[in-house]
A and B are shown apart, each in its own frame.
Chain A
Amino acid sequence: MSLVQHLPALQVAVPLLAAPLCAMMVRPRIAWLFATLAAWATFAVSLAIFHRVLDRGLILYEMGGWAPPLGIGHAVDPLNALLLVLVSGMAAIVMPAARPGVGVEVAPRAQRLFFTLALLALTGMLGIAITGDAFNLYVFLEVSSLASYALVATGADRRATTAAFNYLVQGTIGAMFILIGIGLIYMMTGTLNMADMAVRLREARDTAPVQAALAFIVVGAGIKFAVFPAHVWMPNAYTYAPSLVSAFFGATATKVGAYILIRFIFNVFGVDFAFGEMRIGWALIPLGLAGAFVGSLVAIWQDDLKRMLAYSSVAQVGYIAAAIGYANRDGLIAAIVHVFNHGLMKGALFLVMACVILRLGKADMRSFRGLGRRMPVTMGCFVVAGLSMIGVPFTVGFISKWYLVVGALDAGLWPVAALVVLSSLLAIVYIWRVVETAYFREADGPRTREAPAMLLAPTLLLTVLCVAFGVATEFTVGVAGSAADMLGVLP
């Protein structure tokens, strides 16, 4: 057995073992350095896994040599390989920026615990993505959620504590619903392995527990995924959390919810059952579009720009939900590509907020006045990532919107396609407000300069990736296409 074969186990083990070690490092600087190295090592592992998956398709890993369904197995296909790269990649990019970014927002004594929590949240998300066992998925979900609640509460504003409490209450209800769903499936199939469940469910699908299980899992994952109207926890949590936490979670946390939804609907329950008999498309598409409009409209009126970005996330999550609801290949490609692309752009935009907060103390409209001249690089990043949010060609946002529209037309839902385009116009309004304030208003605040290179470099890197993946589309679309093929939707 070589190390390469154990990569799926290392994917979760590296950040999990690094977390308690990090808690023992008293000096904040050492803790940060250690957490950064751990994040990079995790990213390297996920790249290696990704490479192997593209090479040979599905990777199955038996934990401790116990073969599933008796043992717990990891299963990696192109869908979760891409998610692993996104989650660990965001951690690897955001973690180095944490030193200057967190320095002003978290007390030095608490910083090592902050990095410990970040590593635990990373562990949980990677675990959800990689595991092939439904109950294991629930446990990892709680690992990442508990770490997230605590991370949100580390925000400097006292409202961070109430935001974290509401997040905890709603997140726990979501997790409980997923747990009930898994229990009901276990009741009917006697297995917890997801691949095994899928096979056995084919005979048991017409029973009430299985139908209830689908409902519970869709609602539970919907809460974690912040689909309208279950998005209420998100705006406050992302507004009052430290900016780097918002950047990391904005890019990854809701995406993991999307993954749970896709995995259960397409793999475990199957397209015929979920969309043919239970018609969940009729729930996902209207709610997704409602979220897209409500999120974008509310974003327009926000004065706090972190809150604006959080509401914009409600809208983007809506697009992903609607795209899943199309139940065709282009729709699934749109959902998977948008999970990845929105991660890049929202990460970049929240990092811009981190730069501004570091220099000016807060990120409201007033502090953005004249910022185009005072922080040209930061604002340049905002403009590029903002254009991507709108969906301008040659950015990642365009690729997502393209497949969103094509998928809707493919499903014969032309009004949906029209509404997607219409709601994208709302994004122009909320991005333009900021651009106008930054470039055409006179500055009246204190003099300032660019954020330190440690924070600016990751922001720039994510912005460049927004354009790079928008021009070289074969990579994301190709992987999403092969993931969609493995999920068994008809072309």
Chain B
Amino acid sequence: MTDPLSFLSGHAVQWGAVVLLMTGLYIVMTRGNLIKKVVGLNIVQTAVFLLYISIGYVEDGTAPIVLEGAARYSNPLPHVLILTAIVVSVATTSLALALIVRIREAYGSIEEDEIRERESD
């Protein structure tokens, strides 16, 4: 078992991903405003992007382009994967925002509690 301090500092990026994931989930669960929920969802997605990008990191690695004198390259595959995931998240966000526009047209509000009130009458 390594000492706790180096365990924390050695995995700084992964801890960052964990903190972002928890922050995002907390926002999604506790906020009643639908736009804020979407923002929370975006933070969750960003956490996943960060995790994937950290996988591709190679110590002392350069960009994966053939260069004179470069011996180590970062792994480009996770980066490419996450480009796809970013596109997906853009699509998710735009669909969510489009739904919010429809919800506002139908209920006149984007606050969850007000919508619930109007749903029952």
Contacts and interface: CB of A to CB of B under 8 A. Distances in A.
B55 A161 contact: no
Interface string A142-170: 10001001100100001101101100110
A164 B41 contact: no
B37 A179 contact: no
B3 to A, nearest CB: 17
A168 B96 CA distance: 7
A141 to B, nearest CB: 9
Contacts of A192: 81
Nearest to A158: B106
A161 B41 contact: no
A168 B88 contact: no
Contact of B44 (A150, A153, A176): A176
Interface residues of A, number: 25
B107 interface: yes
A139 interface: yes
B51 A183 contact: yes
Contacts of B78: 183, 186
A183 B47 CA distance: 12
A144 to B, nearest CB: 12
Interface in B62-121: 78, 81, 84-85, 88, 91-92, 95-96, 99-100, 102-103, 106-107, 115, 119
A172 B92 contact: yes
Nearest to A147: B95
Contact of A142 (B34, B52, B88, B106): B88
A225 interface: no
Interface in A169-188: 169, 172-173, 176, 179-180, 183, 186-187
B15 to A, nearest CB: 14
A135 interface: yes
Contacts of B55: 183, 186-187
- Interface SS, A side: helix
A153 B98 CA distance: 10
A311 to B, nearest CB: 18
Nearest to A191: B77
A165 B106 CA distance: 13
Contacts of B119: 159, 162
Nearest to B101: A161
B17 to A, nearest CB: 9
Contacts of A159: 119
Contact of A146 (B91, B100, B106): B91
A149 B99 contact: yes
A146 B81 contact: no
Interface in B19-63: 21, 25, 28, 34, 37, 41, 44-45, 48, 51-52, 55
Contact of A176 (B48, B102, B103): B48
Contact of B34 (A139, A165, A173, A180): A165
A179 B49 CA distance: 10
A176 B20 CA distance: 13
B95 A162 contact: no
Contact of B95 (A139, A149, A183): A149
B48 A179 contact: yes
Contacts of A172: 41, 44-45, 92
Given A149-B95, A168-B99, A183-B55, A162 B44 contact: no
Contacts of A146: 88, 91-92, 95
A183 B48 contact: yes
B85 to A, nearest CB: 7
A149 B92 CA distance: 10
A164 B48 contact: no
B92 A142 contact: yes
B116 to A, nearest CB: 9
Contacts of A173: 25, 28, 41, 44
A153 B101 CA distance: 12
A401 B52 CA distance: 42
B34 to A, nearest CB: 7
A164 B95 CA distance: 10
A176 B48 CA distance: 7
B95 A168 contact: yes
Contacts of A161: 99, 102-103, 106
Nearest to B45: A176
A204 to B, nearest CB: 14
A176 B25 CA distance: 11
A192 B52 CA distance: 13
A431 B78 CA distance: 50
Given A153-B102, A162-B103, A183-B78, 5 more contacts: A161-B99, A161-B102, A162-B107, A173-B41, A180-B21
Ranked nearest first, the 3 interchain pairs of A and B with the lowest CB-CB distance are A158-B106, A161-B102, A142-B88
15 contacts: A139-B88, A142-B91, A149-B95, A161-B102, A165-B96, A165-B99, A168-B92, A169-B41, A172-B44, A172-B92, A176-B48, A180-B21, A183-B48, A183-B52, A186-B55
Interface of B: 21, 25, 28, 34, 37, 41, 44-45, 48, 51-52, 55, 78, 81, 84-85, 88, 91-92, 95-96, 99-100, 102-103, 106-107, 115, 119
